A = this chain, B = another copy of it.
Amino acid sequence: MAKPRISSIDGKLAEEFAVPSHVEEVKEKMAVFARHHAAADRRVVLITSGGTKVPLESRTVRFLDNFSSGRRGASSAEYFIESGYAVIFLYRHRSLYPYTRIFSNINMLDALKFSDGEGVSGNAEVVVNQQVLPNIAKALKRYQEMKEGKLLLPIEFSTLSEYLHLLKAAAQALSTIGSKAMFYLAAAVSDFYIPASEMPEHKIQSSNGPLQLSMNMVPKILSPLVKDWAPQAFVISFKLETDATILLDRARRALDTYRHQAVVANVLDSRRGYVVVVTPETQAELIITEEDVKNEVEIEERIVRG
């Protein structure tokens, strides 16, 4: 008789994806965070953000990656906090971060200048040039309020293995608060990996000639997440395609397969201006107009509020 599917995904996770050494510690931190906010009658959303790194060698020089700046996850985190949620932010190392994302495209040294005054250390005081960074005071204020309220718990990952184990830990931690938990899975997760047992230890040598890679399929972790780990939670997944003609079909198929609450479907080229929110019963287009862009309205605000 075939093994049940769920336990086989659990088994695969344990066998083929290295467990991060701090996973139990992080799980406890997330559980404490979730219980604290649930007790204050706040909903808690786990946002995943950024791409995953899939090593091709154990001592990794080369890896497969997924395109993702982390913009959607980072901006959504801000809108969730504004809407009264507490946020666990599971994000790829060096991807965009809530609040600081507004100066991600600026060289910070171009936005700093010496003032005439002196700082406490006797050094010249260094101040932000608000003509270069007009939104900095607002961002700093919001950031400090968020920290004051302890509304954001950031957890970093780099590799696919770290992502998978930390997401499982998060799901188990959040299961303690039942339907107060939401999952907002915006990370761009690899569909393929090389099992540890088939990975060369050292850097692949180019003198060996062209590279043949054979990559296995990553287990669909959404399945045990919805069915077993956090069955009462509200789960939103994301579907990114480059081909608009297959997008909605893929989104519907994901809902059929995993039986979760919503898929946010988007196409690579238009992802910042157009998404479709698909639920088992409904389908809603969200559009950002040129007028919206002028008013600094972002599509993530509509997704989060919608």
Residues in chain A within 8 A of chain B (CB atoms): 53, 56-57, 59-67, 94, 97, 99-100, 103, 107-109, 112-115, 117, 119-121, 123-128, 130-131, 134, 136-137, 139-140, 143-144, 188, 190-192, 201-204, 206, 209-218, 240-243, 268-269
Contact = CB atoms under 8 A, between A and B. Distances in A.
Contact of A108 (B103, B191, B213): B103
A191 B66 CA distance: 19
Contacts of A188: 61
A109 B99 contact: yes
A217 B213 contact: no
Contacts of A97: 107
A36 B100 CA distance: 37
A13 B209 CA distance: 19
Contacts of A144: 109
Given A130-B119, A140-B109, A140-B112, A216 B212 contact: no
Nearest to A58: B242
Q: Which 10 A-B pairs have the closest CB atoms?
A: A191-B206, A59-B242, A213-B213, A126-B128, A211-B215, A109-B143, A192-B211, A202-B243, A123-B137, A202-B242
A64 B64 CA distance: 4
Contacts of A60: 67
Contact of A211 (B66, B214, B240): B214
